[in-house]
Amino acid sequence: MEQKLKQLEIEAITKINDATDLKTLNDVRVAYLGKKGPITEVLRGMGKLSAEERPKMGALVNVIRETITKAIENKHHDLEEEAVNEQLASETIDVTLPGRPVKTGSRHPLTKVIEEIEDLFIGMGYKVAEGPEVEQDYYNFEALNLPKGHPARDMQDTFYITEELLLRTQTSPVQARTMEKHEGKGPVKIICPGKVYRRDNDDATHSHQFTQIEGLVIDENITMGDLKGTLDVFAKKMFGEDREIRLRPSFFPFTEPSVEMDISCKICGGDGCRVCKQTGWIEILGAGMVHPRVLEMSGFDPQKYTGFAFGMGPERITMLKYGVDDIRHFYTNDLRFLQQFAVQE
Ligand code: DAH
C-alpha cells in the first residue's frame, strides 16, 4: 500500500508539472484529490488495516495529500503569473514610437488668394460686402446702365431663370445694392468677392462658373488718380514691388471713363514672351470712374459724389501668381493639384 501511495504521488507530481494551463491543472486536482480519486479511496480502506498500521498509513496519506495540494497551489500561482506576463507582453505600448499623423486638408488656392486680396483691401479701410448669386435683372444689368436690349449685354451670356431673374454674370450688382443701402450718403468703400455664372463652354481659360472681386469707392472728390494709386498698391502687393502698372482705355457701361489695367510681365521683364503674348504686359482687371447715371440710379447725387470701381477675376490672378495653366484645375479638385498649395501654407 505504501508503495502504491508513493507511486500515486510521483504520478500526480509529474502531471502537475506537465500542466500548461489552469484547466488541465484543475483536472489533475479533481483526479487525485477529488471524492472519487485514489487518495480518498485509500482513506476509505483504512478501516481494514491493523491498529498499528493505521496511524502510519494515515500520516503518510496526509503528507502525500499535502505535497500534492502544495504542488498544485504552486503550479496554479506560476500559471497565473505566466498568463499575466503574457497579457502584459502582448499589450505593451511603445511610447517612443512616432504617432500616426492625422491627415489634414488645406484651404483651396482660390480661397487663399481671395482672402489675401480681402486682407489687402481691408488694410486700406474697405469693408467686405456680399450679394445674392440668384440676382434680379435690375441689379445685374439695368442699375449698371445696361438697359434691356443694350448690345453690351451680349458680352455676358446669361443663365436666365425667369425674364427678371438670373444667375449673376458679375459681382457688379453688389455695387448697386450697396449704394442703394447708403441712401445717397457717402463714403462707400467696399470689396465684394463672390461666385458668378456665364453660359460659356469650359476650356483652359473659361468656366461657366467662376469668381470675381468687385471694388467700389464713392466719396466727394474721388479722382482717377485715387483709382490709379489704389490699383498700383494692389498690383505691387499681389505680384511684387518691382511690378509696373499701366491703364489702357476701355469700355464698360457702368464706368466713364473706363480702363483696363495691365501689369508688367515678370517673366520677360518687358521684352516680350509667350505669357505676355510678346507685349511685355499682362491684363489683370477692368476699372473706371463710376458712371454718373449709375450713381444717380442708386440714389447718389453725381454733382456731389464721384467714385471709382474695379472688377477682377481671382482665377486669373491665381493662375498668374502660381503659374497654373488651366482654369479647370480649380474646379476638378484633383488632390495632386490642391496639395501643392498646402505645402505653401
Ligand atoms: N463686371 C466687369 C466684368 O465682369 C468687370 C468690371 C469692370 C467691374 C470694370 C467693374 C469695373 O466694377 O469698373 O467684366
**Cβ-proximal residues to 123 (8 Å cutoff; 6+ apart), any chain:** none
Distance 168 CA to ligand 1 centre (A): 13
Ligand 1 atom at shortest distance from the alpha carbon of 312:
5
Give yes or no: residues 72 and 180 share one domain. no
Q: Which of residues 60 and 293 earns the better pLDDT score? A: 293
Percent of the chain with pLDDT over 70: 99
**Cβ-proximal residues to 15 (8 Å cutoff; 6+ apart), any chain:** 28, 31, 32
Residue 207, ligand 1, Cβ within 6 A:
no
> Is residue 104, in this structure, part of any structural domain at all?
no
Q: How far apart are CA 71 and CA 64, in angstroms?
A: 10
What average pLDDT does the segment 241-268 reach?
94
pLDDT of amino acid 22 = 86
Mean pLDDT of the chain: 91
Picking from 62, 90, 118, the residue at the C-terminal end of a domain is 90
Residue 170, ligand 1, Cβ within 6 A:
yes
| pLDDT band at residue 343 using 50, 70 and 90 as cut-offs | low
Give yes or no: residues 193 and 256 share one domain. yes
Question: How many CB atoms are located within 10 Å of the residue 140 CB?
Answer: 25
Q: How many residues make up the chain in this entry?
A: 345
Task: Read off the DSSP letter of residue 113.
Answer: H
> Is residue 100, in this structure, part of any structural domain at all?
no
Give yes or no: residues 51 and 196 share one domain. no
Give yes or no: residues 208 and 290 share one domain. yes
pLDDT of amino acid 345 = 53
Mutate to test the pocket of ligand 1, among 310, 315, 316 (most ligand atoms within 8 A of CB): 310
Whether the per-residue pLDDT at 276 is higher than 90: the answer is no
Q: How far apart are CA 54 and CA 288, in angstroms?
A: 126
**CA-nearest residue, atom 4 of ligand 1:** 170
> Is residue 57, in this structure, part of any structural domain at all?
yes
Domain range for 77 is 2-90
pLDDT of amino acid 342 = 82
Give yes or no: residues 139 and 233 share one domain. yes
Number of folded domains in the chain? 2
> Is residue 95, in this structure, part of any structural domain at all?
no
Mutate to test the pocket of ligand 1, among 157, 158, 170 (most ligand atoms within 8 A of CB): 170
256 is in an annotated binding site: yes
Residue 211, ligand 1, Cβ within 6 A:
no
Q: Which helix (H) or strand (E) holds 338?
A: helix 335-342
Residue 311, ligand 1, Cβ within 6 A:
yes
Q: Which helix (H) or strand (E) holds 321?
A: helix 314-322
Q: CA nearest 167: which of 204, 143, 198, 201?
A: 198
> Is residue 303, in this structure, part of any structural domain at all?
yes
Give yes or no: residues 206 and 332 share one domain. yes
User: Residue 274: exposed, middle, or buried by beta-carbon count in 10 A (0-12, 13-18, 19+)?
Assistant: exposed
Give yes or no: residues 144 and 237 share one domain. yes
Paired strand residues for 282? 263
pLDDT of amino acid 269 = 83
Does the pTM surpass 0.75? The reply is: no
Q: CA nearest 212: which of 202, 225, 197, 222?
A: 197
Q: How far apart are CA 170 and CA 192, in angstroms?
A: 10
Ligand 1 atom at shortest distance from the alpha carbon of 172:
1
- Ranking 166-175, 196-205, 297-306 by mean pLDDT, the lowest is 196-205
Ligand 1 atom at shortest distance from the alpha carbon of 169:
4
> Is residue 215, in this structure, part of any structural domain at all?
yes
What average pLDDT does the segment 186-209 reach?
94
Say what the alpha-carbon torsion angle 280, 285, 286, 289 is, to the nearest 10 degrees.
-100
Give yes or no: residues 137 and 77 share one domain. no
Whether the per-residue pLDDT at 8 is higher than 70: the answer is yes
C-alpha gyration radius of the chain: 45
Picking from 57, 90, 123, the residue at the C-terminal end of a domain is 90
Give yes or no: residues 222 and 275 share one domain. yes
C-alpha pair distances (Å), 138 with each of 14, 98, 114, 284, 341: 101, 61, 27, 27, 39
Ligand 1 atom at shortest distance from the alpha carbon of 311:
8
Whether the per-residue pLDDT at 62 is higher than 90: the answer is no
Give yes or no: residues 320 and 224 share one domain. yes
Picking from 35, 55, 90, the residue at the C-terminal end of a domain is 90
Q: Which CATH number goes with the domain that contains 274?
A: 3.30.930.10
> Is residue 291, in this structure, part of any structural domain at all?
yes
pLDDT digits (tens, 9 = 90+) for 68-107: 889 889 889 988 888 898 889 888 888 898 988 888 888 9
Whether the per-residue pLDDT at 127 is higher than 80: the answer is yes
**Cβ-proximal residues to 278 (8 Å cutoff; 6+ apart), any chain:** 272
Mutate to test the pocket of ligand 1, among 252, 284, 317 (most ligand atoms within 8 A of CB): 252
Give yes or no: residues 215 and 303 share one domain. yes
pLDDT of amino acid 19 = 86
Residue 310, ligand 1, Cβ within 6 A:
yes
pLDDT digits (tens, 9 = 90+) for 19-57: 888 888 888 888 888 888 888 887 777 788 888 888 888
**CA-nearest residue, atom 3 of ligand 1:** 170
Give CB contacts under 8 A, 24+ apart, made by 268-276: none
> Is residue 99, in this structure, part of any structural domain at all?
no
DSSP string, 131-158: --SEEEHHHHTGGGT--TT-GGGGGS--
What average pLDDT does the segment 127-139 reach?
97
pLDDT digits (tens, 9 = 90+) for 280-305: 999 999 999 999 999 999 999 999 99
Give yes or no: residues 196 and 269 share one domain. yes
